[in-house]
Structure 1
Amino acid sequence: MRLHRNLCFAVIDGLTLIFNEGKYADKVIQQLLKRDKRWGSRDRAFVAETTYDIVRWKRLYAEIAEVKEPFDRDNLWRMFAVWATLKGIKLPDWKYFENTPTRKIKGRFDELSKIRKLRESIPDWIDEVGLEELGETMWTKEIAKQNEQADVILRTNTLKTTKEKLQNILHDQGIETEFIKGHDSALKLIERANVFVTDAFKKGLFEVQDASSQLVADFLDVKPGMKVVDTCAGAGGKTLHIASLMENKGQIVAMDIYESKLKKLKIRARRNGVHNVELKVIDSTKPIKKLYNKADRVLIDAPCSGLGVLRRNPDAKWKLEPEFLDRIRVTQQDVLQQYSRMVKPEGKLVYATCSVLPSENQNQVKTFLKSEAGANFSLIKDKKVFAHTSGFDGFYMALLERKS
């Protein structure tokens, strides 16, 4: 591979924004890719994947390069040189790469790779939490898998097409996919591609949604004609899946504390041909109280640490703090206590997170069931999904039923 100066500069500029200004990696990369209209798909892929790679391995590369935060541009070029050297890419004769100790880099990599928190490039505290909650064997496997690039998974919009038809349509547009066993609506891209520019996407034939995330709506056991509440709907990936499972019949109330996210859901629903969704901003306790004892099904896709989806959001591990984890556990239990009251007798509730930590998952459910609010519920089943065993995102989901 030959390095091109303008692409490398884009990467360095992006890393400056992500590491030094706290910008979100996905937003930064979106902006970088608009930088030069002459860039082809390979150029854009280089910028995106290299930026994500260096973000993912920040701690390891910084240790090898012997640089500390905040990183100046020279520091970032040294980290870039580490990335290129470990990838086997020949460094061009640029001033940024003068006196790069190639052999030393490889030696330092071998040496530091013996220590998990450095090998997997994570903060000390995350390594300690993972070790404490999952044990050494499972945590070592899981965090290693979380450092691999995630596959692109599509969810067929069954309101408009079938999985088989969608596969043929995408094939005609030059995108090859394969089915995933145990996932009724999922297609996995064989090679990465920008699916958002396809006619199939613009016509609402699919959404991009990880295979593990697709299990949640299925777990909720919805039927056409039901009243379903998605309490933490966000931009609505699971809401839209629920709508397709309900065949657009019945009512879905999609709620969130952020109006901006619900506006995105409105646009996505229109594209998907979904018309049984009512949007509600949670700006007080009033919208929740109005729905007490009214819902056949309630989904609580709870806010969480996101430690099951680090493959998609590698910068999240640098933004997370131990105090956040303490606060989010309190929020999770509070949400369970409040939102569970929307379930009517004999109705069902799913509590889900994209975390792999028991303290955010099964322990929260156990605490809830022992509480006054949870006394009327029983656990039907739960599912723990780990990236290292499934190949997809880490997730947890529990199905609870309210007694009559």
Structure 2
Amino acid sequence: MRSQAAQSRRVALQVLYQIDVEGAYAGIALDRALERSLASPRDRALATELVYGVTRWLKTLDWIVDRFSTRPVTRLSPWVRNILRLGLYQLMFLKSVPGPVAINEACELARSVGHPGVVGFVNGVLRNILRKMNAGAASGDVGGMYAARFPAAALFPDIEFPDIDEDPVEAISVGYSHPGWLVARWIEQLGVERAMEICRLNNEPPPVSLRANLLKTTPLRLVDLLSQEGIQARSSQLAPEGIVLEPGEPPAHSGSPAGLAERGGLAGLRAYREGLFTIQDESSMLVAHVLGPEPGQTVIDACSAPGGKTTHIAEMMGDAGQVLAFDIHPHRLGLLRQNLERLGIKSIRPIELDTRRLGENYRGVADRVLVDAPCSGTGVLRRRPDARWRKRPEDLPAFHALQMEILRSASNCLKREGILVYSTCSMEPEEGEDVVGEFLSESEEGSKFVLLNVYDRLPATFRQAFPDETHNGCGWLRLFPDVHGVDGFFMAAMMLKGRFDN
């Protein structure tokens, strides 16, 4: 048993090194490592927990290590700092692993990558940390008000953490392991309490929701079929074709949908192999409803791969009509084709194209156009643990400019009175309200678009769950994890009333 757990830790360390030094994406690097080195679900689960746990809590872990290490984390070798992160994460968050075991395993990892001095250094730092944690537990001191809000502080009552009243940005950034610039933005936009709650939720395992393939089954039947395979689920309260796995059901962590299915065992289910469901967050399920495709129509999905929303559109159309699915990346279109085969969908045509050129090639052909635009992804950080550390403030104006380019081009594909839906999985105004405002302002000079009321286009399930939803008093809808219990998301719908050059 020990050797199996030790192998899981070695795999986790290798993946963390790749993320830290080589800039690897956590989900991709982990999937490859699990496939190559670990066979049993138990071993894979431990490696996944360690990689995603350390990545989520990176800033908190480093902040604590810096209080016990004679050298700053940034000046340690990548192997050593990631061994310390692994050891500390287990001490703080994995109650199933005794402290001495976590330290001994960290020392074994250090022995495999360094000289005896490295082993002694790792052992000394982690044992001092454990000693401090044990002293705090014995004293009964839980660290005061800060610890009541931030769980890490409760483990170290003698350490002075940043004060939430004096410096809320640093307090939340350290307490819930988020970049300071992002915390500052959310505090400015939403206030301290909501910013803190969103950061807390980003460190919790996200809910797993599935969309029933209405071409083959119904949500209620899917719930029953999954129950027969040992998976408990309930109907979604927001999306009529959605179901949500009960807490504690696999998978506990997620990266990409493909990786989520593999690591959690969903790909092994008969219902998955037979194409009865797609893994998709409830917020994303709402987009196709806002688009409102009808059988026989021509629909363009400008940024389609790997196809979650694209296949939903086709399912809502009864697979009758034509869905032109564009993407600039061939390998992502390959994932879309795999999904089409599994789901049994025939009406979607994948096309490789830079969607900034859409309007030149497909002018006036579509009844509906969806632009689910590339964005910073700040609304889905809980699903992509490493993404928070990749984001930079300068990314936002760059994404804004790209989204405007795609929207301008894709809008030319619409027929008169066609509907254009723009959506992002971002919580930033630059990738939502600001884009819509700028686009509508420009449309007054070339094509007349009017903003539709998104709330009226949402399914009854959502409107019943949120009868007082005000969508910021405008036509668009912004979803938040702390309010709606789903990924952060933005969507707006616009209708083309006419072109001035017609």
For Structure 1 versus Structure 2, the TM-score category normalised by the shorter chain is over 0.9
Matched, 1:217 2:288: yes
Matched, 1:86 2:92: yes
Deviation at 1:322, TM superposition (A): 2.1
Alpha carbons of structure 1 residues 125 and 165: separation in structure 2 relative to 1, 3 Å: same
RMSD over equivalenced CA pairs, Å: 2.2
**Residues 268-307 of structure 1: CA deviation (Å, up to 9, x unaligned):** 1111111111122114865532321221100000111100
Matched, 1:167 2:167: no
**Residues 72-103 of structure 1: CA deviation (Å, up to 9, x unaligned):** 22222221222122124422162356232224
Matched residue, 1:57: 57
**Residues 214-272 of structure 1: CA deviation (Å, up to 9, x unaligned):** 11111111111111100011211100000000000111010111122112111211111
Residue of 383, 393, 398 corresponding to 2:477: 383
Matched residue, 2:140: none
Alpha carbons of structure 1 residues 284 and 18: separation in structure 2 relative to 1, 3 Å: closer
Secondary structure at 2:477 match in 1: strand
Letter in 1 for 2:481: A
Secondary structure at 1:55 match in 2: helix
1:199 and 1:274 map into 2 onto residues whose CA distance is 18
Alpha carbons of structure 1 residues 164 and 358: separation in structure 2 relative to 1, 3 Å: same
**Residues 333-375 of structure 1: CA deviation (Å, up to 9, x unaligned):** 1222221111111110110000011221112101111113675
Matched residue, 1:26: 27
Matched residue, 1:396: 490
Structure 2, unaligned runs of 5 or more:
67-71, 111-121, 134-154, 165-170, 251-263, 454-475
Percent identical pairs in the alignment equals 32
Letter in 1 for 2:156: G
Residue of 98, 105, 130 corresponding to 2:123: 98
Deviation at 1:140, TM superposition (A): 2.5
2:34 and 2:496 map into 1 onto residues whose CA distance is 49
Q: Which one is further off, 67-76 or 242-251?
A: 67-76
Matched residue, 2:119: none
Matched, 1:129 2:178: no
Q: TM-score, normalised by structure 1?
A: 0.93
Matched residue, 2:213: 157
Matched residue, 1:43: 43
Q: Which one is further off, 270-279 or 68-77?
A: 68-77
Secondary structure at 2:35 match in 1: coil
Would you say the 8 A contact 1:377–1:402 is kept in 2?
Answer: yes
**Residues 369-400 of structure 1: CA deviation (Å, up to 9, x unaligned):** 11136751111122111011122211111011
Matched residue, 1:141: 197
Q: Which one is further off, 261-270 or 28-37?
A: 28-37
Secondary structure at 1:280 match in 2: strand
Structure possessing the higher radius of gyration over alpha carbons: 2
Would you say the 8 A contact 1:214–1:238 is kept in 2?
Answer: yes
Structure ranking higher in helix proportion? 2
Would you say the 8 A contact 2:421–2:492 is kept in 1?
Answer: yes
Structure number with greater CO (CA < 8 Å, separation at least 6) is: 1
Q: How does 1:1-400 map to 2 (within 5 A)?
A: 4-37=5-38, 39-66=39-66, 67-69=72-74, 71-87=77-93, 88=95, 89-91=97-99, 92=101, 94=104, 95=107, 98-99=123-124, 100-101=127-128, 102-104=130-132, 106-107=155-156, 111-112=160-161, 114=164, 115-190=171-246, 191-192=249-250, 193-283=264-354, 287-372=358-443, 376-381=448-453, 382-400=476-494
Q: Which one is further off, 165-174 or 66-75?
A: 66-75
**Residues 291-334 of structure 1: CA deviation (Å, up to 9, x unaligned):** 21221100000111100000111101111222222211111112
Q: Which one is further off, 102-111 or 116-125?
A: 102-111
Q: TM-score, normalised by structure 2?
A: 0.76
